[in-house]
Amino acid sequence: MILIAAAWITVLLALGGFALDRVLADTLRSSFDEQLASNLKAMINTAELDEVGEVRLLRQLGDQRFSEPYSGLYWQISGRGMATFPSRSLWDRQLPLQPRGADCRQPCVYDSVVFAGEPLRIMGRSVRLPGARTSFYFQVAQSSRDLERQLARTRSILFWSLTVLGLGLIGMAGLQSTYGLAPLRRVSDAIAAIRSGRAQRVQARFPVEVAPLVAEINELLAHGEAQAEAARRHAGNLAHALKTPMSVLVGEAQGRDDALAKAVEAQVQVMRRHVDHQLARARAAGRRAASTARTPVWPVVEAIARTVERIHHGRVTIDLAGDKAVEFRGERQDLEEMLGNLIENAAIHGGGRAFVTIEAADRMLRILVEDDGHGIPEAARARLFQRGERLDTDKPGTGLGLAIVAEVADLYGGRVDLAESEDLGGLLVTLSLPRAE
């Protein structure tokens, strides 16, 4: 807006300045020529023939410069076959006669550079005085440097006046745009605060022009939260509705020893894995859609590490290190679910020792979980993100842990990477998540 206003103001002032310059220049030239015409008319009115037929002026012209040598203001009277009658200001010089072929029975104006370093503007007229046998040529000349000085001064005043006016208008447009759009920038800051978890609604007061927008944003946020809550409620209802029939089927199958019972039990386990995975994903998606939460990472990691160590009765040691102040921009339940899966996997598949490091990197945080197990070949790592995929079938588990972690992290704009731990020699899992600012 400011650039467009500046360009438009510049174009208009340039066009207006050009037109005004033309008008002022024409006005100054007309005034200059009118002064020459006035002096020429006064000269003709005071001229007469003396007793020998030569032209004389009855009285001196009013401007004193006609009497000062080389003053820049001159007059001259010429006649065919007669001596030239000049003003004292011409001294030893003569004005050029009318241009060849020009009819100067009416005043004619022309420029001349016959005097070195002194350009002239000359007005002349042919007049037959009473009793004269021939016409005389009356001339009045003035240095055009006076005109050029006036033009230069006028253009300088015009230029600086329009420049100051233009800068003032552009400054006013800038202030108008800056302060006029300030409420929208405040709305943007408020939305950024909501996204980072510092606020839940746009609370500040706004002008009446922006207030409807703010109201619609708050209504949209409330609608999103209501939909997320409905999604969580439906997910919970679905979990209860499916788990009971599946538990009945497993109970019936475990009481029999035929092939059909084993097939039913196996398929129910597959169904349970899929249901658990989809329910976990639905709950995380619902929370993420309306989440403005900020979750400190260190207390969550510390609590999960203590829990896992107690579950394994001291056979697993989990060391913690890193940034204790960093916060996750998301729900605590989702962070607990992701870290719980990763740390539990490190405890189950490792050799008894795990190392968890928390790092802050720009707008993201990284949680590195390392173990001292046998690790995983690089070619087989991608398979771990597939639902129900397990490389070690001798250890307990459903094969859903890393798949759920990867999908929940992806819902938050994060990712999970697998590598080899340089310190412990086992698997290194790097969980990258958005950081609350």
Average pLDDT of the segment spanning 135-143: 91
Q: Compare 49 and 153 and report the one with higher pLDDT.
A: 153
User: What is the chain's length?
Assistant: 437
Which amino acid is located at 140 in the chain? V
- CA–CA gap between residue 163 and residue 158 (Å, rounded): 8
What is the structure's pLDDT at 378?
77
pLDDT surpassing 50 at residue 390: no
161 assigned to some structural domain: no
194 assigned to some structural domain: no
Q: How confident is the model at residue 195 (pLDDT cuts 50, 70, 90)?
A: confident
What is the structure's pLDDT at 193?
80
- CA–CA gap between residue 89 and residue 72 (Å, rounded): 8
326-362 pLDDT tens trace = 999 888 888 888 899 899 988 888 888 999 999 988 7
Q: Which of 129, 149, 169 is the last residue of a domain?
A: 149
Query: Do 262 and 396 fall within a single domain?
Result: no
What is the structure's pLDDT at 398?
40
Query: Do 283 and 398 fall within a single domain?
Result: no
pLDDT surpassing 80 at residue 288: no
**354 CB-near residues (< 8 Å, 6+ apart):** 316, 317, 318, 319, 343, 346, 347, 369, 370, 371, 372, 424
87 assigned to some structural domain: yes
For the chain, how many helices (H) and strands (E)? 8, 14
CA dist list (Å): 283 to 225, 292, 337, 410:
13, 15, 11, 14
What is the structure's pLDDT at 352?
87
pLDDT surpassing 60 at residue 382: yes
Which amino acid is located at 38 in the chain? S
Query: Do 424 and 313 fall within a single domain?
Result: yes
What is the structure's pLDDT at 234?
77
Query: Do 109 and 35 fall within a single domain?
Result: yes
Residue 51 CB neighbour total at 10 angstroms: 5
pLDDT surpassing 80 at residue 257: no
Q: How many domains is the chain partitioned into structurally? A: 3
Give the SS3 label for residue 75. Answer: strand
CATH of the domain at 384: 3.30.565.10
359 assigned to some structural domain: yes
294-338 pLDDT tens trace = 889 999 999 999 999 888 887 889 999 999 999 998 888 888 888
What angle do the packed helices 259-290 and 211-254 form, to 10 degrees? Answer: 170
Q: Compare 246 and 432 and report the one with higher pLDDT.
A: 432
Query: Do 344 and 430 fall within a single domain?
Result: yes
Average pLDDT of the segment spanning 212-230: 84
Instruction: Tell me if 104 sits within 8 A of 126, measured CB to CB.
Output: yes
Query: Do 355 and 266 fall within a single domain?
Result: no
136 assigned to some structural domain: yes
- CA–CA gap between residue 93 and residue 41 (Å, rounded): 23
What angle do the packed helices 145-196 and 2-45 form, to 10 degrees? Answer: 170
268-280 pLDDT tens trace = 877 776 676 666 6
pLDDT surpassing 60 at residue 388: no
Average pLDDT of the segment spanning 234-261: 77
Query: Do 244 and 356 fall within a single domain?
Result: no
66 assigned to some structural domain: yes
pLDDT surpassing 60 at residue 206: yes
44-98 pLDDT tens trace = 888 888 777 778 888 888 888 888 998 989 999 988 777 888 999 998 899 988 7
158 assigned to some structural domain: no
Copy the structure tokens of residue 85: 């009658």
Instruction: Tell me if 279 sits within 8 A of 233, measured CB to CB.
Output: no
- CA–CA gap between residue 97 and residue 138 (Å, rounded): 10
162 assigned to some structural domain: no
What is the residue-averaged pLDDT of the chain?
A: 84
Dihedrals φ, ψ of 110, to 5°? -155, 160
Strand partners, 365: 360, 433
CATH of the domain at 99: 3.30.450
pTM: 0.47
Q: Which residue range(s) make up the domain with 67?
A: 2-149
Query: Do 364 and 245 fall within a single domain?
Result: no
Q: Which of 102, 118, 149 is the last residue of a domain?
A: 149
Give the SS3 label for residue 319. Answer: strand
CA neighbor of 423 nearest in space, from 370, 381, 349: 370
What is the structure's pLDDT at 433?
92
Q: Compare 194 and 108 and report the one with higher pLDDT.
A: 108
Cα pseudo-dihedral 382, 388, 394, 395, rounded to 10: 90
- Residue 34 φ/ψ region, left for φ over 0, alpha for ψ in the -120 to 50 degree band, beta for the rest: alpha
Q: Compare 366 and 396 and report the one with higher pLDDT.
A: 366
Query: Do 277 and 309 fall within a single domain?
Result: no
Query: Do 419 and 404 fall within a single domain?
Result: yes
> In 23-42, which positions are buried (b, 16+ CB within 10 angstroms) versus exposed (e)?
ebeeebbeebbebbeebbeb
Q: Which of 271, 290, 309 is the last residue of a domain?
A: 290
What is the structure's pLDDT at 386?
60
Query: Do 15 and 110 fall within a single domain?
Result: yes
What is the structure's pLDDT at 393?
43
Residue 412 CB neighbour total at 10 angstroms: 21
Query: Do 30 and 141 fall within a single domain?
Result: yes
Q: How confident is the model at residue 101 (pLDDT cuts 50, 70, 90)?
A: low
